[in-house]
Structure 1
Amino acid sequence: MLTLFTNRFPDFQTAQGVPVRITRGHPRYKLTYTLQHQVPALAPAAAYFKEPEPAFTAAYRADLDKLGAPRIAELLNAVATATGDHRLVLLCFEDLSKPGLWCHRRVFADWWQERTGDAVRELGPRPTHEQIPLM
């Protein structure tokens, strides 16, 4: 059985599970861990990045639907089998602690939960709300 999480590259910690790249490109900065696994099928098409969030999300979800949850599970299970760890952390670049930011890893997480019933928890920092000064 798979246990999926999401995070961003610099916030991943090895105790969280197996890091899995789901981006088109590699991080261009030094990581504190070895990144050996990737699932290119979960990376959005380059053209989608020029689209506003609703169009991006619709196109990416359509791609996921074409691939299907059973095939995606096969790809992810191959990583889990190769590593001997069912905890996979799907990684991309976006810092979701910044208000208003979104990314494909959370679009995938929502899609996966809808299709399989399995929640995919974000392990990285969440947005912080602005502090209201006390008078």
Structure 2
Amino acid sequence: MIPAINIDAALAALTDHWSPKVVARVNDQYVKVAKLKGEFVWHRHDDEDELFQVVRGRLRLQFEDGGETVLEPGELCVIPRGVMHRPVAEEECAILLVETVTTKHTGDVETPRSRSIAEQLA
């Protein structure tokens, strides 16, 4: 039997903001859940696109050209590879991410908030 994945339960198990957890793998993509609050670091993923979908709350995706995209529950946005961006959640936000298995958490930047793939799989 192939088990179902309960996204709400996976999100409820999270205790740390900005620390995504892998809940599934589809081919060469990880499906992750995360809770966000505050501002993340400016970063880019030179070789991978990144999909953000808001489950609860509101997420602003800021871009280096000064633009931004605001996501409400049920909305998603794909950040193309190479685009400098910064997620911002003024209040706690719950999201689903889809990223290539090679995607580094903070892209081209290493910070104390960076999480390795091993940490995201734990």
Q: Scaled by the length of structure 2, what TM-score is found?
A: 0.34
Structure with the greater alpha carbon radius of gyration: 1
Please identify which structure carries the higher helix content. Answer: 1
Please identify which structure carries the higher strand content. Answer: 2
Q: Scaled by the length of structure 1, what TM-score is found?
A: 0.32
Identify which of structures 1 and 2 has the higher relative contact order when contacts are C-alpha pairs closer than 8 Å and 6+ apart.
1
